[in-house]
Amino acid sequence: MRQLLSGTAAARGSALGRARVRLPHALDIDEARIGAEDVEAELARFHESVDSVRADMRSLRERLHGALAQEIGEFLDLHALLLDDPELLSGIDALIRTGLYTADYALRLQRNRIAAVFEGMDDPYLRSRIDDIDQVIGRLHAALHSQRAALQGASGEILVTDTVAPAELAELQAQGVVGVITAGGSPLSHSAILARSLHLPLVVGAAQALQKINDGDVLAIDGGSGLVVLEPDAADLRGHHRRVAEVKRERRQLNRLRREPTRTLDGADIKLWANAESRNDVTEAHALGAAGVGLYRTEFLFLGSSELPDEEAQFRAYRDAVLAMTGRTVTIRTLDLGADKADKTGLALRNEPNPALGLRGVRLSLARSGLLHTQLRAIARASGYGPLRVLVPMVSGGEEVRAVRHALDEVLRELRAEGREIAAQIPLGAMIEVPSAALALPTFVGLCDFLSIGTNDLVQYLLAADRTNEALDGLYSPLHPAVLRVLRDVVRTGQRRGKPVTVCGEIAADPAFVPMLLALGLTELSLHPATLLEVRRTIRACDLGQLRAAAPALLRARNRSGIERWLQANPAG
């Protein structure tokens, strides 16, 4: 019987397929014991499953390439670290050895012990880490029974589950899964961001999905509206086919924009930069006609290795990015480890009480001066091959910019003394993503050659709302009067001092927000290459003069509803 379920749109696209239901991760295993004579065999069975899971994750990492390898790698690395956690493994060993429990039941008991600790934490980010524990436990349980890990899907299926990890999405798509529905989750989570990059339809927050949907049910999902149809009728099928045809037509139209200028209806040129973290991203950015790379993430060089990359390894990566852009500027962000990005070397602290507010970004670089010196040398050497800029993350005030400027000047003197071919000048910019930096910007903007607004963290810190916490979905939003005022003030400060201002983050990649950003005075956006053509099309349908004239009404909005009404009244085109 046809039923209509609703969730939250997280990744656009329309999918039709059979349901594959994966129940929540909590293991429903009855208590079971073994004889004392079976302990060693049970321990061996358990550790064989650990080795099997390690091998599976290593194999998955090797099969991924380019941007996906970097995007997903950090989550696979985290799961690999959990597999080596003595708290997890020794606890299970002890339960088998002294409690005489089966490995399955020991897994359940140890999972519940660890979950109780996580659930008692005050910090919502740390509480959310139980999802990673559950992912690892689920893989171990499947391996104990020589089953494929729980994320297995089949061609033409739509996965229905409680939550999905970023590390799963690429593998699911490779298996032929055409869409994902989750009972929880947020459209602003890492999983949702990755699903949009993969063009994999995703609906989150469909609370009734696990109760209403059974294996084998036919589903039609619309990742653009958040609607899920269980056992669709003829009208639903026609609607699905119409949406699929529209998407194909839209992609053909977008491909025609690859070489078109990013220019508004009234003739204003807007710069579209690309965010990148791999050679593949840079290649795609070049092919799509990006103005340059507005944000090159360097941390991927650190996340995948158990040793710190040396100057030569970093230099080659930065040089290749510069060469690939053939004269267009590459903006290289210094290391932004910390918070949810921990490397294998132990450089980033793993057990900080509040990692989102901890030793991350430029704070970590300045605390490890040798690390910063090596990275700046590699960047400066790459400047001999084409134009680049240096961007400093997590700036909270002028002292950090001044310290990096001093370190960069020292590096440039060194390299010139060595006879290296480097640029005469390397522009230095600050990421404005900490509220204190936005407020204090007039006092240190003179130290900067350009500015980049990191909206993901800025909104999070400004509103004190974790963007990955689904309970705060209604609070975390760039459509807040305080966010708009901060954006306007940063743009005005940059304009008064002649400093270019770029906005990066998910807000820049959403065509619906483009009129708002243009109205606030922004003329440079940096976004993932996957959405660059959609944003270019939106900009070409905007009248910049009309939007700027409507800006006072936007800034008078008192709440999110008022801003949404402004967006409805001032669409592109």
pLDDT (tens digit per residue) in 238-257 = 999 998 888 888 878 888 88
Q: Which helix (H) or strand (E) holds 18?
A: strand 14-21
Half-sphere exposure of 503 (CA within 13 A, CB side): 27
Question: What's the pLDDT at 342?
Answer: 46
Q: Is the pLDDT of residue 286 over 50?
A: yes
Question: What's the pLDDT at 141?
Answer: 74
- Range in 234-238, 297-301, 393-397, 449-453 with the lowest mean pLDDT: 297-301
Residues forming a β-bridge with 296: 276, 332
Residues forming a β-bridge with 431: 452
Question: What's the pLDDT at 343?
Answer: 44
Give mean pLDDT, residues 358-374: 88
- Range in 42-56, 531-545, 554-568 with the lowest mean pLDDT: 42-56
DSSP 202-265: EEE--TTHHHH--TT-EEEEETTTTEEEES--HHHHHHHHHHHHHHHHHHHHHHTTTTS--B-T
Q: Is the pLDDT of residue 215 over 50?
A: yes
Give mean pLDDT, residues 205-214: 88
Question: What's the pLDDT at 127?
Answer: 52
Question: What's the pLDDT at 78?
Answer: 58
Instruction: List pLDDT tens digits, range 2-33.
Output: 999 999 888 888 999 999 887 665 455 667 88
Q: Is the pLDDT of residue 68 over 90?
A: no
Give mean pLDDT, residues 427-438: 97
Q: Which of these, 233, 188, 181, lies nearest to 208 by C-alpha position?
A: 181
Q: Fill in the amino acid letter for 422.
A: I
62, two tokens: 């090797």
Given the residues 79, 448, 504, 542, the one annotated as active site:
504
Question: What's the pLDDT at 163?
Answer: 81
Question: What's the pLDDT at 306?
Answer: 67
Q: Is the pLDDT of residue 538 over 90?
A: yes
Instruction: List pLDDT tens digits, range 307-327.
Output: 788 999 999 999 999 999 999
Question: What's the pLDDT at 352?
Answer: 55
Beta strand pairing call for 227-230 and 218-222: antiparallel
Which comes out higher in pLDDT, residue 164 or 64? 164
Question: What's the pLDDT at 150?
Answer: 46
Q: For the whole model, what pTM was predicted?
A: 0.69
Distance CA 371, CA 299 (A): 12
Q: Is the pLDDT of residue 135 over 80?
A: no
Q: Fill in the amino acid letter for 334.
A: T
Please answer whether residues 325 and 282 qualify as being in contact, where contact means their C-beta atoms are separated by less than 8 angstroms. yes
Establish whether 190 is a catalytic residue: yes
Give mean pLDDT, residues 356-385: 90
Given the residues 25, 141, 190, 240, the one annotated as active site:
190
Give mean pLDDT, residues 188-196: 77
Q: Is the pLDDT of residue 54 over 70?
A: yes
Q: What is the rounded average pLDDT for all residues in the chain?
A: 85
Question: What's the pLDDT at 454?
Answer: 94
Which comes out higher in pLDDT, residue 462 or 247? 462
Q: Is the pLDDT of residue 146 over 80?
A: no
Question: What's the pLDDT at 559?
Answer: 94
With cut-offs at 50, 70 and 90, classify the pLDDT of residue 80: low
DSSP 404-470: HHHHHHHHHHHHHHTT----S---EEEEE-SHHHHHHHHHHGGG-SEEEEEHHHHHHHHHT--TT-G
User: What CATH number labels 256-569?
Assistant: 3.20.20.60
Q: Is the pLDDT of residue 47 over 70?
A: yes
CB atoms within 10 A of CB 178: 22
Q: Is the pLDDT of residue 393 over 50?
A: yes
Distance CA 117, CA 334 (A): 35
Establish whether 504 is a catalytic residue: yes
Q: Is the pLDDT of residue 214 over 60?
A: yes
Q: Is the pLDDT of residue 481 over 80?
A: yes
Query: Which CATH architecture is the domain 3-246 placed in?
Result: Orthogonal Bundle (1.10)
Instruction: List pLDDT tens digits, range 100-110.
Output: 888 888 888 88
Q: Is the pLDDT of residue 167 over 90?
A: no
